[in-house]
């Protein structure tokens, strides 16, 4: 079987963000199952299509002009990627995401199509742009995403509930989680520590201001606790005006970190907090489970369906967040129960388990 995966991939062999990390983790393991894999990735530059070996698997870089793609329903990228797919002649095509890559594979009719629904483009636009722009983009994005979901032979969702990120019901919906890299499973279960770990960076949708606002109440209960915040540039702190951070010696604000550094940070113990205003399937949750840390998250989007009883979920406000984090830091019994359930759930996110689930879906679509 030959599989073509359309996915964005940074050009230096170091994936950026959850979708790229999922592709980089998945492709080699699928290849080990005997499936020939080539990743077709947009290249934002003038060069012609060319091969890229920096990831250790075959990547075909295809030029993509980013200007006005969404206004044109991604037709320029669809045309360029279809030309590459025609040459590759895969048996199955897979698109990572509901926008340009998903739209391209769903519109290519020469092989069964799988669209992996990673995030929610409508929510991203709503939270990621100023209100007038986000509002203007909604009907355009809804049209593209709706067409992608309707056309795809299979929508593989990283969340069990299709309603979280699909505007219409897919013809076929299968839950397969994002893979978590082996480095997270290689760590020993850490001892309890009075550390609260936030890895979401500066974007408003991730809620850094909520955990910063909650922190004074947490540190009042646990005087020796520390809040570790990652993913910030120096300008981010000033721009977002994180409350009380500069005046709190118990707060540390750090820059972006790669997956190996994330695994090392988690291995130091503590509580992982996800105070987001919207999430579909935050990758840090199963990462924490794999290492053996309890999780406190806001009850938004796909978090309840993903986490189940393996995390504490709370309303999106600082008081509820503070109460839950302080409680987990206080109660080793509750923390241990969360960790036990999370450790069990983490097995679903191992790359080999995820790859085998995808391979079964490819076979179903081929009628094998």
> What pLDDT does 269 receive?
96
Arithmetic mean of pLDDT, 317-325: 96
> What pLDDT does 243 receive?
53
Q: Is the pLDDT of residue 368 over 60?
A: no
Nearest-angstrom CA–CA distance, 95 and 114:
6
Q: Is the pLDDT of residue 28 over 70?
A: yes
> What pLDDT does 133 receive?
79
> What pLDDT does 158 receive?
96
Q: Is the pLDDT of residue 49 over 90?
A: no
Q: pLDDT tens for residues 279-302?
A: 999 999 999 999 999 999 999 999
Per DSSP, 55 falls in state T
Q: Is the pLDDT of residue 114 over 80?
A: yes
> What pLDDT does 115 receive?
98
Q: Whole-model pTM?
A: 0.92
Q: Is the pLDDT of residue 27 over 70?
A: yes
At 109, give phi and psi (nearest 5°).
-105, 10
> What pLDDT does 237 receive?
63
Q: pLDDT tens for residues 242-261?
A: 555 556 788 999 999 999 99
Nearest-angstrom CA–CA distance, 246 and 254:
13
CB 359 within 8 A of CB 33: yes
CB 328 within 8 A of CB 159: no
């Amino acid at each position: 079987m030959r599989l073509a995966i359309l996915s964005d991939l940074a050009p230096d062999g170091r994936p950026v963000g959850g979708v790229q990390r999922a592709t980089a983790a998945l492709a080699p393991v699928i290849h080990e199952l005997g499936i020939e894999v080539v990743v077709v990735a947009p290249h934002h530059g003038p060069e012609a299509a060319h091969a890229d070996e920096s990831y250790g698997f075959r990547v075909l870089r295809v030029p993509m002009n980013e200007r006005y793609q969404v206004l044109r329903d991604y037709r320029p990228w669809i045309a360029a990627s279809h030309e590459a797919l025609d040459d590759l002649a895969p048996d199955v095509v897979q698109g990572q995401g509901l926008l340009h890559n998903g739209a391209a594979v769903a519109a290519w009719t020469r092989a069964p199509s799988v669209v992996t629904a990673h995030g929610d483009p409508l929510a991203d636009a709503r939270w990621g742009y100023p209100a007038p722009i986000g509002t203007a983009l909604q009907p355009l994005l809804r049209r593209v995403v709706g067409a992608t979901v309707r056309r795809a032979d299979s929508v593989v969702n990283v969340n069990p509930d299709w309603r979280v990120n699909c505007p219409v019901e897919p013809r076929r919906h299968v839950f397969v989680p994002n893979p978590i890299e082996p480095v997270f499973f290689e760590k020993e279960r850490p001892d309890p520590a009075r550390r609260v770990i936030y890895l979401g960076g500066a974007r408003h949708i991730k809620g850094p201001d909520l955990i910063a606002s909650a922190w004074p109440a947490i540190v009042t209960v646990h005087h020796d606790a520390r809040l570790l915040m990652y993913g910030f540039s120096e300008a981010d702190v000033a721009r977002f005006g994180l409350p009380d951070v500069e005046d709190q010696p118990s707060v540390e604000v750090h820059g972006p970190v790669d997956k190996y550094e994330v695994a090392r940070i988690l291995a130091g113990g503590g509580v992982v907090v996800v105070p987001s205003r919207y999430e579909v399937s935050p990758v840090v949750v199963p990462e924490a489970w794999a290492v053996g840390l309890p999780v406190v998250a806001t009850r938004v989007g796909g978090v309840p369906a993903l986490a189940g009883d393996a995390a504490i979920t709370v309303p999106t406000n600082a008081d509820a967040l503070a109460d839950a984090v302080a409680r987990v830091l206080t109660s080793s019994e509750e923390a241990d129960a969360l960790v036990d359930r999370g450790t069990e759930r983490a097995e679903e996110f191992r790359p080999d388990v995820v790859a085998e689930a995808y391979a079964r879906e490819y076979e179903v679509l081929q009628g094998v």
